[in-house]
Amino acid sequence: MYQNVTFLPLSDITQKVTQVCMIIYDVTDIALNKQMASEANQKLERLSHTDFMTQLNNHGYWLECCQHEYKRHTRTQQPASLIMLDIDHFKNVNDTYGHPFGDKVIKKVADCIRENMRETDIAGRYGGEEFTLILIDTELENAKIVAERIRQSIENVAFDFEGTEVKVTSSFGVAQITGNIPNYKSWVKTADLGLYIAKDTGRNKVSVSPH
């Protein structure tokens, strides 16, 4: 029971307070309605930030987080690194095994990312079969280690398609914020260039842009 309580002093004929009156109002319905509305608003806010399939941050919200992290770096000069990854030959996966199987692969890749990141890191589905991960307070060499760990985790997954084992691989680009990166968009572009290099030189590897 939620209550609103009012205390009223009661005076005698000499204006001396001799008693106190306590009035209790039952406001349970009002309180519960407000609580439910607050919870509903919080849920809606989470949904607006979340990619439905993977439960990672969606593209728009992840970009906001990326911009925020870049600004934090400019204030604190603490290191930060960004990983971009792409499932190799994903179109072939969809064409060969069907889109439902492709969706299963995307969900599992998201799980591999979650299993290899810290609570403070920020993962997102950038679009289609491409994912992103911001590593807070992490320099390039350590970011490459995390990327390699995720790469191996994805490579080790054995998917089942009608009794047949199917495996997929992924390519990675990694970038740390440096003096040559003037804004968060350039940070993303630098990591994306590393991803392009990985895909162009054989796939299933971690690469860094020379910039």
Q: Does 46 score more than 90 pLDDT? A: no
Least confident of 27-36, 83-92, 108-117: 27-36
Whole-structure pTM value: 0.78
**Is 39 among the residues known to form the active site?**
no
C-alpha of 66 from chain center: 11
**Mean pLDDT, all residues of the chain:** 91
Residues 84/130, Cβ–Cβ less than 8 Å: yes
> How many Å apart are CA 170 and CA 203, to the nearest integer?
7
Q: Read off the pLDDT of each residue in 29-50 and give the average, rounded to a whole number.
A: 68
User: Choosing from 115, 129, 130, 162, which is the catalytic residue?
Assistant: 129
- Banded pLDDT at 167 (limits 50, 70, 90): very high
Q: Is the pLDDT of residue 204 over 90?
A: yes
Domain boundaries along the sequence of the chain: 3-48, 50-208
CATH superfamily entry for domain 50-208? Reverse transcriptase/Diguanylate cyclase domain (3.30.70.270)
- Rounded mean pLDDT, 140-149: 97
**Structure-token pair, residue 81:** 């690194």
> Is it the case that residue 45 has pLDDT exceeding 60?
no
pLDDT reading at 13 higher than 60: yes
85: closest CA among 159, 158, 135? 135
Q: Is the pLDDT of residue 40 over 60?
A: no
Contact 124, 131 (CB under 8 A): yes
Convert 36-48 to b/e letters by CB count within 10 Å (16 or more is b): eeeeeeeeeeeee
Tokens 């199917």 found at: 166
Task: Band the pLDDT of 187: cuts 50, 70, 90.
Answer: very high
Write down the pLDDT at residue 27. 77
Q: Which position has the token pair 């191996």?
A: 152
